[in-house]
Structure 1
Amino acid sequence: MLEFPRWKYFVILLVLALSVLYALPNVYQSDYAVQVTGNRGAALDDALKTRVSGYLQQAGVQPKSVAVENDSLLVRVVDADAQTLAADTLRENLGENYTAALNLASNVPVWLQRFGAQPMVLGLDLQGGVHFVLQIDQKAALEKRVDAYVEDVRVTLRDNRIRYTAVDRRADHSIAVTLASDADPAKAREQLARTMPSLSLEGEGNRLVVRIPEAELTRIAGSAIEQNIATLRNRVNELGVAEPIIQRQGDDRIVVQLPGVQDTAAAKRMIGATATLEYRAVIDGNAADALATGRVPPEAKVFQRRGTGEPVLLSKRVIVTGDQMVAATSMIDQNGQPGVSVTLNNVGGDRMFEFTSGNVGKPMAVVFTERIPQVTMVNGEEVRSFRVKEEVISVATINGVFGKNFQTTGLEKAEAEELAKLLRAGSLAAPMDFVEERIVGPSLGKENVERGVTAVLYAFLFTLVFFGVYYRMFGLITGIALLFNLLIVVAVMSLFTATMTLPGFAGLALSIGLSVDANVLINERIREELRAGVPPKASIVTGYEKASGTILDANLTAIIAGIALYAFGTGPLKGFAVTLVIGILASMFTAITVSRAIVTLVYARRKKLKSLAI
């Protein structure tokens, strides 16, 4: 009568083994560390290790180890105070070629990492991280869009063979067009109205004014923030940050919180970077003379080659930009040179195909454009600005026609990898400035973790004691099931990199309570059967079968509530919901299946069972 399928025992043992394997990395605490990375290919070699060790010795810091790990030099120290002192010392002495940032270094053994086992991801309130507030330069977004309209006006007039003498933007964001004396104003109006129907045209004769409506200017400013938020999400995904918070604040600010990120330099580089690629045609002419005399052709602009500083005359018209790139990966070409393999969208592919079709055998340049933030002191106050750096990284002859897919070389390896990430994430619609930056230290997170673990531990121990006294043997079995439940929750959250936060601890404690509730239903049902005179073994079978339906119904409603919290909640509510749902699913398995398996092992072989310790 009291039977349990053997295949279920195998499933339970398999779940137990996997739970132990994937929960085990949480035993290995991370070291406080300082991560040293090289800028623009700076070497990470033995000479650097010797320098770093010397600087630390002079500052009185005794590191646990100094070694190159995952393309960076990692200095492991004993506590947060030593970490801060080491970081300040290295930043002061290493100079601009290296970046020293706070980090947490994993101690998980290699054999566990081979199975994909990693510690549970902790939220900003538990393991620290960074909090940024970014200010959107909406004026630059408007200027960028107006510049695009200016170029569209020129292209429209040229494509329709309408001669003009000047196309200039004005301070009120309108565009002044001066047509040649022999041009047809009516045709110009017609073509401009057809190409840009959202804009309005004014003026008489050969002088036209293209105006951008106020509604369109407002839409441009608003969409710049939305595009920047979408781009930031993509860039944070490239950083591999779990459960980031990226949200709008007011009309022109964005809040970014990155749990677990201690390398603030890398985070700021990826989040605030505006580096991109531009492809331009090379203009015939002597670039050196044009630069020396200032006589630059109206359709051209002088750029400089990277490394040599040699001037190059390029067209003002951009063929394609980073905005039109949908995929980018770093690669090594046949000559061993690092570069980026690029895939364009349909519009960019068509423009590249059209240009290369008519310019085979002619040179085309690749321009690397970077917007670098600067802070200067004026009258005792910080003034933030940007310096635009434009470099020609390669000039190559177009040997054949190509469209959406091609490769760009001329970059350093680290630069190619970072640029590929930026191109995959997309470009910013408007530049941003970091107006607030806070680092939540891991020491505060450590205290929160300890308190959370203590709360869950006491909840578990109080439950175990009560059940042991009240239900005796069945109380002990319930305690084993609860311990298994806790192990499964930790393993699942570690395996799927779910984020544990302080609300998550509350969800874990609540899931333990729901698991207790399920076991109470089973035990009380068994006691009712015994009071009714049903034999012990039959009472066990009936108790589990009749209580299981009630447990499923009760937990199903709790799961629906958890899913609703996750779907419509943000931040802390999601952390609570994830832990709650995982805990409920685990408690259903342990209460109904695991506890019954243990009860069967204890009582099934007893032929003359007259009573139960319940």
Structure 2
Amino acid sequence: MNQYPWWKNALIGLVVVLGFIYALPNLYGDNPAVEIQAAHGAAVNRATVAQIRRLLVAARLPYKRISRAAKGVQVRFRRAGVQMRARDLIGQKLGPGFHTALALAPAAPAWLRALGARPMYLGLDLRGGVHFLLRVDMHAALHKALLEDTRALRRALRHHHIRYREARLAKTGVLELRFRNAAQAHEARRLMAQQFTDLAVTSGPHHALRAVMTPAAIAARQHYALEQNLTALRRRVNELGVAAPVIQQEGRSRIVVELPGVEDIARAKEILGRTATLEIHMVDSKNSLASAVSNGAPPGTRIYDGRHGQPILLYDRVLYSGDDITNASAGVDPQTGQPVVNITLNGRGAAINARVTRHNVGQRMAVVYVEVQSHLKRNDQGIPIRGPDGRRVRVTRKIERVITAPVIREALGGSFQITGIGSVRQARNLALLLRAGALAAPVSIIAERTVGPSLGAANITRGFYATLFGFLAIAVFMAVYYRIFGMLAAIALATNVVLLVAVLSILQATLTLPGIAGIALTVGMAIDANVLIFERIREELRNKNSPQAAIATGFDKAMGTIVDSNMTTFIAGLALFWLGSGSVRGFAITLCLGILTSLFSAILVTRALVNAVYGRRRRLAHVGI
């Protein structure tokens, strides 16, 4: 007789039941939600929850429920439009002491959530949103690194008392140094060999040295710029409050950013592409500003543009920068009613701030806003100019503007306020950028694609019906051609789809349109194994073997062919995942997982069903195949 031992039937049944349980949350979907967290990790108390409830009721924004989340409070809604309005209202009323973010909350029952069963995320093409392809300006990243090396080299030369005539960074990216005599040049070269190993130094005429970055240093700097930009972009997207974003590297200098459900596309573009940071300088009150404007700034100083375009003379030395900022929040000055940004410094920045302000009471300290912008270089007709390699030439422009330059009234510590900001929106954007950190190199948006929510819903409907109709067509064909065995194969095929959805849900994969295509392809490919098995059973029956022997031989003999054929497809799926990116990888993951679930359902589940129907019959004269 054809029978599995009880433990194998129990194991197959357990896997199938667990598959149904973990696939079930996808039928319930998600609720649009808003998550509220207190700044600095503090807990959200009951008074805040009551205030949120009153705000929503007063604004007539219907919500499903308010519940405690892992780090704060979660408010669930029925529609995404209400969710967006509630996020803006709560963020405005609660103020800078709280962070509000959009989220997707599973609508599954509590008992499913207790088991850890959660639905799959929906990708951009299914939920709607915006897709950006960003290019990192690697030339600007290398120029910034060489500029840092130039400043560090000047300090090192002064520290070791090596006098030099000139140390400048040429436009060609070459660090040029000139000395009075050969001895000084030799000492400088020995110092650079010890402390600046990322520079390749050559000697020139008239006691000159020329230094360029080594190929290894260039590759390391480009890798650092890409990784730093990825980290900063993830922080910025988190600050925007986007649920299930996709931020990943594509190639050596490109980054893909997908923001599902985003409606304020203009603000998203503004936040993603800006490279803003702050620098703190002391104002030069000893030298005459009028003389500096007329005759040039004295050594160690520089003229900056202040508010409303007035010039201001600052010392070159940067006391500390945005790298020393640990937190920034937008607010309103209670005395003037003007927008401000509240800054919190780390230990290093706080120590510098305390020391400098303690010794300079009565002097002015300037906060300089620094931003690097990158745009296409165009000719007089407005047509982009292309370089020798055929690529469009980009021009980098550095904007440095003094936001405020107040008088130091007393010694400061690790926190202060920035005033002189034009609007509340500008204050919020600046605080967001400072919290997320500056980009290591400018980025430019080279491709943009927007998918509306209605189109995403249409894609889901079409993908669902395509898979359903394909499944029904296969089930009807199998039932007509293989009769009872075909019906059992259709049941196993349905189990395969459920198991595939369950595995994707457990992995918290993001379902995209190519992923649905992978599921539909799996439905068509999975039945091949059953066809091989059933044809082998028919062949054994034509050879006058008994039905029980034909069933056993059919499953056993077809096993090697099934594994071999699926293994070749699995290898192709691995190649797609290894060499592909983005949606290609999503398709490859679905395909490979579908092959594994197909083998389980076609071989084990189908065999268990056939055993249940025919396995207990000792004298079997005929089978429905």
Structure 1 residues 387 and 103: CA distance shift in structure 2, 3 A:
farther
Q: Which amino acid aligns with 1:76?
A: F
Match of 2:79 in 1: 78
Q: 2:186 aligns with which of 190, 196, 212?
A: 190
Measured after TM superposition, the shift of residue 524 of structure 1 is 1.7
Counterparts of 1:474-493 in structure 2, within 5 Å, are 474-493=485-504
Aligned pair partner of 1:534 in 519, 530, 545: 545
- TM-superposed CA distance for 1:158, in Å, is 2.7
Q: Paired residue for 2:333?
A: none
Matches within 5 A, 1:304-383: 316=317
Contact 1:91/1:99 (<8 A) preserved: no
Mapping of residues 145-184 of structure 1, within 5 Å:
145-163=145-163
Q: How far off its partner does 1:118 sit?
A: 1.9
Q: Which residue of 1 aligns with 2:250?
A: 247
Matched, 1:14 2:14: yes
Counterpart check, 1:230 vs 2:227: yes
Give a deviation string over 1:134-187, Cα, whole Å, max 9, x none. Answer: 4656675465334313322223313322356986667776778787xxxx7333
In 2: Cα distance, 1:89 partner to 1:428 partner: 27
User: Counterpart amino acid of 2:228?
Assistant: T
Q: 1:495 aligns with which of 481, 484, 506?
A: 506
Alpha-carbon separation, structure 1, partners of 2:562 and 2:357: 70
Contact 2:275/2:373, CA 8 A, preserved across alignment: no
Task: Decide whether the 8 Å contact of 1:22 with 1:494 is kept in 2.
Answer: yes
1:224-303 alignment runs, 5 A limit = 227-234=224-231, 241=244, 244-247=247-250, 254-258=254-258, 260=260, 262=262
Give the distance between the partners of 1:130 and 1:190, measured in 2 at CA: 56
Deviation, 1:534, is 1.3
Corresponding residue for residue 584 of structure 2: 573
What is the aligned counterpart of 1:550 among 561, 575, 583? 561
Q: CA deviation at 1:5?
A: 2.1
Q: Which deviates more, 507-516 or 111-120?
A: 111-120
Residues 67-106 of structure 1: CA deviation (Å, up to 9, x unaligned): 47554764624365x566x379749976995888765443
Residues 433-512 of structure 1: matches in 2 within 5 Å? 439-512=450-523
For residue 132 of structure 1, what is the aligned residue in structure 2? 132
- State the alpha-carbon separation in 2 of the partners of residues 191 and 364 from structure 1: 38
Q: Which residue of 2 aligns with 1:593?
A: 604
Q: Which amino acid aligns with 2:532?
A: L
Counting aligned pairs with the same residue, the percent is 34
Q: Classify 1:438/1:516 alpha carbon distance in 2 versus 1 (closer, same or farther; 3 Å).
A: closer
Inter-CA distance 370–468: structure 2 relative to 1 (3 Å threshold): farther
User: How far off its partner does 1:521 sit?
Assistant: 1.4
What runs of 5+ residues in structure 2 fail to find an aligned partner? 303-313, 328-343, 359-365, 375-381, 383-395, 405-412, 418-427
Q: Offset at 1:297?
A: 12
Compared with structure 1, are the counterparts of its residues 235 and 261 closer, same or farther at alpha carbon in structure 2 (3 Å cutoff)? farther
Q: Distance in 2 between matches of 1:34 and 1:263?
A: 15
Q: Residue 64 of structure 1 corresponds to which residue in structure 2?
A: 63
CA distance in 2, matches of 1:288, 1:49: 49
Amino acid at match of 2:19: S
Contact 1:90–1:100 (CA<8 Å) still a contact in 2?
no
1:173, 1:211 within 8 Å by CA — same for their partners in 2? no
Distance 2:17 2:445 in 1: 47
Question: Whole-Å Cα distance in 2 between the matches of residues 37 and 436 of structure 1?
Answer: 34
Give the CA deviation at 1:455.
0.7
Code of the residue aligned with 2:250 in structure 1: it is Q
Return closer, same or farther for 1:164/1:30 CA change in 2, 3 Å cut-off.
same
> Secondary structure of 2:24's match?
helix
Residue type of the alignment partner of 1:590: S
**Residue pair 2:125, 2:456 contacting (<8 A) in 1 also:** yes
Q: Distance in 2 between matches of 1:292 and 1:52?
A: 57
Q: CA deviation at 1:131?
A: 1.9
- CA 1:434/1:470 → structure 2, altered by over 3 Å: closer, same or farther? closer
Distance 1:497 1:419 in 2: 29
C-alpha contact 2:492 2:605 (8 A) present in aligned 1: yes
- In the superposition, the TM-score normalised over structure 1's length comes to 0.67
Q: What corresponds to 2:309 in structure 1?
A: none
The Cα RMSD (Å) is 5.6
**1:4 maps to which residue?**
4
Alpha carbons 1:173, 1:212 under 8 Å: kept: no
Structure 1 pair 315/26, CA: closer, same or farther in 2 (3 Å)?
A: same
Matching residue of 1:50? 54
Letter paired with 1:247: E
C-alpha displacement of 1:514: 1.9
Worse overlay, 90-99 or 451-460: 90-99
Q: Deviations over 1:264-297 (max 9, x none)?
A: 799779855768899x9x9xxxx79969999999
Q: Distance in 2 between matches of 1:140 and 1:88?
A: 37
Task: Please give the secondary structure, in 2, of the residue aligned with 1:449.
Answer: helix
Distance in 2 (CA, whole Å) between partners of 1:341 and 1:545 is 70
Within 2, Cα distance between the matches of 1:87 and 1:586? 42
**Structure 1 residues without counterparts, runs of 5 or longer:** 302-312, 330-337, 343-355, 376-380, 392-407
Letter in 2 for 1:20: F
- Residues 319 and 289 (structure 1), Cα distance of their counterparts in 2 relative to 1, 3 Å cut: closer
Deviation, structure 1 residue 491: 0.6
Q: What is the DSSP-based 3-state SS (H/G/I as helix, E as strand, rest coil) of the residue aligned with 2:118?
A: coil
Distance 1:508 1:176, change over 3 A: closer
Q: 1:7: how far off?
A: 2.1
When the two structures are superposed, what TM-score results if normalisation uses the length of structure 2? 0.66
Give the Cα–Cα distance (whole angstroms) in 2 for the partners of residues 560 and 419 of structure 1: 44
For residues 401 and 448 of structure 2, the distance between their equivalents in structure 1, rounded to whole angstroms, comes to 23
Q: Any conservation in 2 of the 1:515–1:591 contact (CA below 8 Å)?
A: yes
CA spacing shift, 1:229–1:151, aligned 2, 3 Å: closer
Deviations 1:546-567 (A, max 9, x none): 1112111111111112112222
Displacement of 1:386: 5.4
Cα 1:72/1:147, change in 2 over 3 Å: farther
Q: Distance in 1 between matches of 2:91 and 2:246?
A: 33
Give distance in 1, aligned partners of 2:516 and 2:460.
9
